[in-house]
């Protein structure tokens, strides 16, 4: 048997190939327990990103829906809440037409419930729930004006659960609505908000009467306002009224049910989130990180996160995000703590000693503030770095920017660490999970504090000897892509950058993005167009005199959130200036890549780009036998 080899960091032969990131990989999205059946919603890169429902029962496991059905909502462009399962039935939104369909779990043919439109996908649905008597569905409906793409109406609707019908409009008086839920059989509660707020800012919890005999509703009345309300369930909802997302009972008055410093839930970028549920016996269950709470008792599962809680008698089933292995669908017996993996973790090519697990870091940043992150050191059972050498660093920024780093296992992170790169996933000021005050630090400061904190994270790790300060790169997508570009115009800390569907010109974004985020920058930057000067001052496209760092750019050509013109303008400008800039554009991809061939092509080109720019290895070290050899990527601007 061979021993451990010594090779330069960044050149290590890895057990993780680019193809491993998608081959046999599924994305777990949602889960339900319906009697003796468990149903889950999963995405499949190998099928072009198609999403389907899978059923497990005493007869085994089977797909409930087959091509061309694709379970995915287009509401807010980010979707979520595209299915609901209850009483031997599944209701789902089909991607191609955005209609609501119904199918029995006994695998009959799906039946459409909402009307066909003359222009497919102009009427979209999300966040489905069934009424207690089983006769009705409540949902979010989003209507796009064919003649005016900027005119979009969002509203709550009710429709028959079993037969085709025209939805009845419940509420359309706010710019946005989410989480419509039946309360008993005679009321509907939901959350609403108006521009320029986002659902993690100033929302309102409303309720209206409901007549189950006819499916009609009365006018909505406000139950609570002036905070971020999420996930109403009966008289309980998540609220940050006290500065942290906790459970509150909201009826004739508001009172907190939990007071923990750990937040419950996260920002509602998508619909259908379930971070607290009721058991059949009435007990409340909620999750914080990897801990399950049942009234006063806590079960520490050892997981990094528990998502989409699905209650049943004496148990909770959840999508479990582990720090050291792929996600599972796991059932937790609340009396004994015993666990059953309904969907076990798929095998990976990693061996003992190959897995890099996250280490939480807390570090000083500009103005005496503190920022956070998760550090992943290099790990490879067969290779170590030379004495006295430090690994190169990959700084990763989450999107949003109101989101957070997620310290759970991702084969994409192990792709880097097994090759001898260190990775830090940054939670800059404004990230979620640290309370409302920390989250609000981004207001008016986007393009400043996020940049400061990414640079500070890199410098902190270089100063303590964890990484090589001369070989640090930065990567991010969407809002994280903007932070990449802004960081590269703010100093010479990074040797290279990778920007995926990022923002180069904030003014263009403010005038040319979708409704959900069209006023988001009012809070992050300033009101548009009154603050035009600030938008220009923060936009990387206006600071090319300070941009001399090699850049690789990736863009989906069907992106409606950050249109391709954002990537094209920065690529064209950098090439005109003579800065090394590589561009890869992908037909059929939107905001976030879903197809296997795209994912493989992106990571392969990014690795080759870093190795070339950082001049890593020579001779036999230069050829990465563990990486996929990409086809030529289509060129953009």
State mean pLDDT over 84-112. Answer: 96
User: Which residue do the tokens 């939107």 mark?
Assistant: 590
pLDDT at residue number 2:
61
Between residues 260 and 197, which one has the greater pLDDT?
Answer: 197
Q: What is the DSSP letter of 350?
A: -
Q: Binning pLDDT at 50, 70 and 90, where does residue 618 land?
A: very low
Residue 8 lies in a domain: no
The answer to the question of residue 264 being in a domain is yes
**Cα distance between residue 276 and residue 376, in whole Å:** 30
Q: Rounded mean pLDDT of 491-512? A: 93
Q: Has residue 34 been placed in a domain?
A: no
Q: Are residues 337 and 409 in the same domain?
A: no
Task: Quote the pLDDT of residue 16.
Answer: 97
Residue 560: pLDDT above 70? yes
Give the H/E segment covering residue 135.
Answer: none
Res 107 pLDDT > 80? no
What are the structure tokens assigned to 527, written together? 């009101």
Choosing from 347, 378, 412, the residue where a domain stops is 347
Mind spelling out the 3-state secondary structure of 290-344? Answer: CEEEECCEEEECCCCEEEEEEEECCEEEEEEECCCCCCEEEEEECCCCCEEEEEC
pLDDT of residue 636: 31
In a domain, 25, yes or no: no
The 10s digit of each residue's pLDDT in 316-351 is 999 999 999 999 999 999 999 999 999 999 999 999
Domain around 291: 274-347
320 and 172 co-located in one domain: no
Mean pLDDT of 427-431: 98
Q: Which of 197, 217, 62 is nearest to 131 (CA)?
A: 217
User: Could you identify the residue written with the tokens 């010109």?
Assistant: 505
Q: Does residue 104 belong to any structural domain of this protein? A: yes
Q: How far apart are CA 134 and CA 49, in angstroms?
A: 32
- DSSP state, residue 116: P
pLDDT at 296: 78
What is the per-residue pLDDT for 625?
39
Query: Of 268, 295, 324, which marks where a domain is finished?
Result: 268
> Once rounded to an integer, what is the mean pLDDT over residues 484-488?
97
**Secondary structure of 214-267 in HEC code, one letter for each residue:** CCEECCCEEEEEEECEEEEECCEEEECCCCCCEEEEECCCEEECCCCCCCCCCC
Express each pLDDT in 154-166 by its tens digit.
Answer: 999 999 999 999 9
**φ, ψ of residue 180 in degrees (nearest 5):** -70, 130
Residue at 35 is within a domain = no
| Amino acid 114: pLDDT | 98
Compute the distance between CA of residue 628 and CA of residue 611 in angstroms, rounded to an integer.
Answer: 15
What pLDDT is stored for residue 252 in this prediction?
84
Residue 627 has pLDDT above 80, yes or no: no
Residues 386 and 468 in one domain: yes
Scored b (16 or more CB within 10 A) or e, 96-114 reads: ebbbbbbbebeeeebeebb
pLDDT, tens digit, 9 for 90 and up, residues 198-235: 999 999 999 999 999 999 999 999 999 999 999 999 99
List of residues 6+ apart from 384 with CB closer than 8 A: 4, 5, 6, 7
Task: Determine the Cα–Cα distance for residues 610 and 496; give it in Å rounded to an integer.
Answer: 7
Side by side, the strands of the sheet bearing 37-44 are 27-34, 37-44, 50-57, 60-63
Pair 605, 498 in one domain: yes
Q: In terms of residues, how long is the chain?
A: 637
Distance between CA 94 and CA 97 in Å, rounded? 6
Position 472 confidence tier, pLDDT thresholds 50, 70, 90: very high
Q: What is the pLDDT of residue 619?
A: 33
Average pLDDT over residues 471-475: 98
Q: Strand 393-397 relative to strand 472-477: parallel, antiparallel, unpaired? A: parallel
Q: Kindly report the CATH number assigned to the domain that includes residue 184.
A: 2.140.10.30
Do 458 and 570 belong to one domain? yes
* Residue 626 pLDDT grade (very low, low, confident, very high; cuts 50, 70, 90): very low
Least confident segment among 29-43, 433-447, 581-595, 622-636:
622-636
Residue ending a domain, among 211, 245, 268, is 268
| pLDDT band per the 50, 70, 90 thresholds, residue 635 | very low
- Within 10 angstroms of residue 75's Cβ, the number of other Cβ atoms is 26
Judgement on whether residues 204 and 70 belong to the same structural domain of the protein: yes
| Average pLDDT of the residues in 547-562 | 94
Q: Is 289 in the same domain as 173?
A: no
Residue 216 φ/ψ, nearest 5 degrees: -105, 160
Listing DSSP states for 452-503 in one string gives HHHHHHHHHHHHTTSS-TTSEEEEEETHHHHHHHHHHTS-S--SEEEEES--
CATH of the domain at 511: 3.40.50.1820
Element (H, E) at 604: helix 596-613
Question: Which secondary structure element, helix H or strand E, spans residue 436, and what is its range?
Answer: helix 436-439
- Domain check: are 421 and 490 in the same one? yes
Same domain (yes/no): 590, 613: yes
Domain count for the chain: 3
CB-CB contact of 83 with 65 (8 Å): no
- Are 247 and 166 within one domain? yes
Instruction: Dig out the tokens for 583 from the structure.
Output: 């561009």
Residue 119 lies inside a defined structural domain of this protein: yes
Residue 172 CA to chain centroid, in angstroms? 27
Look at residue 361 in the predicted model and tell me its pLDDT: 98
Q: What angle do CA 500, 482, 124 make, to 5 degrees?
A: 65
In a domain, 1, yes or no: no
DSSP state of 610: H
pLDDT, tens digit, 9 for 90 and up, residues 366-404: 999 999 999 999 999 999 999 999 999 999 999 999 999
Instruction: Report pLDDT for 149.
Output: 83
Q: Are both 615 and 523 inside the same structural domain?
A: yes
453 vs 367: CA distance, rounded Å: 11
CB-side exposure of 445: number of CA atoms within 13 Å?
Answer: 18
Nearest to 64 by CA among 47, 35, 40, 46: 40
Task: Answer whether 484's CB lies under 8 Å from 603's CB.
Answer: no
Per the prediction, the chain carries an average pLDDT of 94
Same domain? 492 vs 598: yes
């Amino acid at each position: 048997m061979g021993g451990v080899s010594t090779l330069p960091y960044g050149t290590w032969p890895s057990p993780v190939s680019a193809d491993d990131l998608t081959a046999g990989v599924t994305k777990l999205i949602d889960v339900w327990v319906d009697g003796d059946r468990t149903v889950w919603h999963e995405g499949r890169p190998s099928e072009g990103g198609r999403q389907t429902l899978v059923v497990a029962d005493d007869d085994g496991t089977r797909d409930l829906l087959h091509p061309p059905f694709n379970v995915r909502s287009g509401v807010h462009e980010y979707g979520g809440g595209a299915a609901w399962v209850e009483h031997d039935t599944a209701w789902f939104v089909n991607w191609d037409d955005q209609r609501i369909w119904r199918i029995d779990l006994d695998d009959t043919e799906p039946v459409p419930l909402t009307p066909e439109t003359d222009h497919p996908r102009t009427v979209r649905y999300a966040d489905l729930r069934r009424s207690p008597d089983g006769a009705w569905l409540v949902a979010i409906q989003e209507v796009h004006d064919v003649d005016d793409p900027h005119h979009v109406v969002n509203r709550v609707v009710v429709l028959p659960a079993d037969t085709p019908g025209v939805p009845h409009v419940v509420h359309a008086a706010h710019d946005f609505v989410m989480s419509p839920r039946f309360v008993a059989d005679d009321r509907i509660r939901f959350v609403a908000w108006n521009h320029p707020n986002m659902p993690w800012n100033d929302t309102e919890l409303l309720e209206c009467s409901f007549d189950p005999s006819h499916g009609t509703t009365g006018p909505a009345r406000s139950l609570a306002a002036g905070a971020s309300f999420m996930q109403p369930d009966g008289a309980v909802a998540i609220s940050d009224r006290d500065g942290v997302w906790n459970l509150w009972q909201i009826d004739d008055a508001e009172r907190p049910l939990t007071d923990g410093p750990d937040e419950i839930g996260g920002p509602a970028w998508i619909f259908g989130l379930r971070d607290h549920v009721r058991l059949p016996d009435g007990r409340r269950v909620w999750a914080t990180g990897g801990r399950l709470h049942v009234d006063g008792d806590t079960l520490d599962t050892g997981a990094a996160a528990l998502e989409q809680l699905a209650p049943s008698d004496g148990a909770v089933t959840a999508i479990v995000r582990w720090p050291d292995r792929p996600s599972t669908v796991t059932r937790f017996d609340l009396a004994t703590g015993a666990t059953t993996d309904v969907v076990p973790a798929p095998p990976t090519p990693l061996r003992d000693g190959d897995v890099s697990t996250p280490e939480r870091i807390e570090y000083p940043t500009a103005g005496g503030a503190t920022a956070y992150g998760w550090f992943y050191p290099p790990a490879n059972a067969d290779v170590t770095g030379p004495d006295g050498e430090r690994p190169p660093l990959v700084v990763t920024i989450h999107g949003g920017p109101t989101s957070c780093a997620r310290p759970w296992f991702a084969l994409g992170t192990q792709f880097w660490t097994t090759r001898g790169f260190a990775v830090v996933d940054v939670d800059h000021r404004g990230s979620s999970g640290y309370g409302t005050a920390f989250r609000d630090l981004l207001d008016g400061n986007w393009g400043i504090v996020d940049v400061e904190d990414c640079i500070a994270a890199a410098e902190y790790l270089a100063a303590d000897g964890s990484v090589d300060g001369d070989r640090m790169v930065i990567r991010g997508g969407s809002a994280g892509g903007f932070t990449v570009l802004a960081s590269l115009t703010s100093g010479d800390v990074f040797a290279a950058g990778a920007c995926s569907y990022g923002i180069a010109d904030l003014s263009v974004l403010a005038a040319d993005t979708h409704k959900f985020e069209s006023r988001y920058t009012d809070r992050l930057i300033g009101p548009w167009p009154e603050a035009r000067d600030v938008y220009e001052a923060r936009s990387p496209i206006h600071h090319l005199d300070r941009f001399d760092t090699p850049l690789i750019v990736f863009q989906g050509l069907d992106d409606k959130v950050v249109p391709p013109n954002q990537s094209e303008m920065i690529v064209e400008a950098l090439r005109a200036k003579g800065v090394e800039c590589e561009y890869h554009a992908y037909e059929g991809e939107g905001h976030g890549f879903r197809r296997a061939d795209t994912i493989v092509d992106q990571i392969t080109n990014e690795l080759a780009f870093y190795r070339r720019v950082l001049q890593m290895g020579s001779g036999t070290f230069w050829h990465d036998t563990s990486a996929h050899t990409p086809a030529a990527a289509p060129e953009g601007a």
